[in-house]
Amino acid sequence: MVQAIETKNLTLSYGDVIIIEELDLQIPKGDITVFIGGNGCGKSTLLRSIARLLKPKAGVVLLEGESIAKMSTKDVAKQMAILPQSSVAPEGLTVLQLVKQGRFPYQTWIKQWSKEDEERVNAALAATGIENLKDRPVDSLSGGQRQRAWIAMTLAQDTDIILLDEPTTYLDMTHQIEILDLLFDLNENEQRTIVMVLHDLNLACRYAHNIVAIKDQKIFAQGKPENIINQNLVKSVFGMDCEVTLDPLFGTPLCIPHGRGRRILKDAVI
């Protein structure tokens, strides 16, 4: 299987605190990969390191087989885009101005704004369904619209790999599904490699081809959701007792947490 991204012996830290230790990871090309794990386990830190936003303490990140540390910033930006957590646009910046920023890696002193740049920006607006919002300030949009605008910027960057850190945070249920459906379509229709951090285990199972569960600075398990998500994994990684059944709509693993709550008799009419 072709790997879009690999890490070898990767160790990440903040100061003397080790977050990820000696991690060997393979992210398949053309798949949706989702990082899961408890709070503070290093999911976002790992994503930042893959995007070259955090220098490793040891080890290497390979992008299409090449050490990312040896690549120029522009070359990395032409192959991989990242949407960090809780991105904030400058006040008054319009959607169109934001999306145009995705073309900056292709600009030089000699080669300024081109017809191709214009086409990529228009295609990104169309793909995310926000053409009618292009003249609106980003800070005037709803949460779902704003997230679409940021994703449009990453699409305009025209990379085969897109990294997203908790893209559904602060969104209601409708907008969560809207954003994940959009990313799913990009993967299905354009074979983009999508790598995400998600907190919702059930949504991760629904959308991911490949799940990476992180615990104790290492990979606890990796593989297709239907092959690795079970009661033992959820208990070990999240410290939570649960039942794992099948999603009645998709057939993917569905986690039902134990805990307190109202009980309705099985023969009650809903």
Closest residue by Cα to residue 198 from 222, 167, 227, 225:
167
**Is residue 36 within 8 Å of 240, Cβ to Cβ?**
no
Residues 169, 87: Cα–Cα separation, whole Å? 11
Q: What is the pLDDT of residue 44?
A: 93
Q: What is the pLDDT of residue 113?
A: 85
Instruction: List C-alpha distances in Å: 156 to 104, 196, 244.
Output: 10, 19, 39
pLDDT in tens, 36-75: 999 989 999 999 999 999 999 999 999 999 999 999 999 9
CB 231: neighbour CB atoms within 10 A? 14
**Is residue 46 within 8 Å of 59, Cβ to Cβ?**
no
**Average pLDDT of the chain?**
92
Q: Token pair for residue 125?
A: 């607006």
Q: Which residue did the predictor score with more confidence, 258 or 88? A: 258
Q: Which residues contact 39 (CB under 8 A, 6 or more apart)?
A: none
Q: What domains can be seen in the chain, in order of their start residue?
A: 1-71+160-230 (3.40.50.300), 91-158 (no CATH)
Strand partners, 222: 212
Assess whether pLDDT exceeds 70 at residue 16.
yes
Q: What is the pLDDT of residue 138?
A: 94
Residue 144, phi then psi, degrees to nearest 5:
-65, -40
pLDDT band at residue 267 using 50, 70 and 90 as cut-offs: low
Torsion sign (Cα): 169, 217, 184, 227 = negative
Q: Which residues contact 233 (CB under 8 A, 6 or more apart)?
A: 213, 220, 221
Instruction: List C-alpha distances in Å: 198 to 22, 36, 84, 104, 180.
Output: 23, 6, 13, 28, 10
Q: What is the pLDDT of residue 270?
A: 54
Q: Token pair for residue 79?
A: 């192959």
Q: What does the DSSP assignment read for 57-120?
A: SEEEEEETTEEGGGS-HHHHHHHEEEE-TT--PPTT-BHHHHHHGGGGGG--SSS-S-HHHHHH
> Which range (52-66, 162-176, 202-216) has the least confidence?
162-176
Q: Token pair for residue 106?
A: 């292709």
Assess whether pLDDT exceeds 70 at residue 269.
no
User: pTM of this prediction?
Assistant: 0.90
C-alpha angle 165/194/19, rounded to 5°? 45
Secondary structure class of 23 (helix, strand, coil): strand
